[in-house]
Every structure is written in C-alpha cells, then in structure tokens.
Amino acid sequence: MVGYPSDVEELVFNKILFNLKPGSFLVDHTTSSPALAEKIYTECAKREIHSLDCPVSGGDVGALNGCLSIMCGGDQQSFDKVKFILDCYGKTVRLIAPKPGMGQQMKLANQVTVANNLLGLCEGMV
C-alpha cells in the first residue's frame, strides 16, 4: 500500500512489473482509481501475472488488530488463490465483482457513504 494513485502507477509500471515472473500475484491495497486498477490488470494479464485491486477500510487500528475490511476486484481464480492470505489481516474479505477496478468502486462508495453519514451527524448537532 502506497500513498497516492500516482505512486502506484510509478511503482507498478516502472519497477514492480519488471521484477515479477509469470504466475506471480500483484495485490494492491492502495485506495486508487478504478481506471488505474483496470490498466494494471490489463498489463499484468499480458505478462501472465495475476492482479487484484483490494483497497481496505478500517484504518491503522483495523490493520493492527487484523480486522480490516478488504474489497477486491479482479478475477475469481486469482482471488480464490490469495484469499487465505487476506484472511490473516482482514475480518471481512470480499470479491466485489469478478472485474478489475470493482474493489476501487466499492471503496469509493464506502467513502461517500461515510462522508454522508458524518455530514448528517454534523447537521443533527447544529
């Protein structure tokens, strides 16, 4: 997990892909863009590398306690092969849809929902 989509793009396309062998797995936990997740998936597929976009929710506390929510996008076969690892630090691990970028789509929906709930709470206190 790195900071920003531009960091992900820089690392994946300028360093990581050149060091992965066919059959390797690339699991990205960064909250990024669905379009970038699709781009990474497409390039990985050309190289016979499995790719999943798996942003997380739960923050530092969730990570420390092994109870993150992990929202995955990518193909079912790749998800099935890495789920047992994700289960080690994720309380809820789901393949949102067997399509790249769907983990990012779900994270975006989650963030909008959280922001709306916070706004409603603030409005109620005024």
Hey, which residues are catalytic here? 107
Hey, CA dihedral for 20, 22, 25, 28, is it positive or negative? Answer: positive
d(CA 64, CA 108): 23
d(CA 64, CA 13): 30
Tell me, what DSSP letter sits at residue 99? S
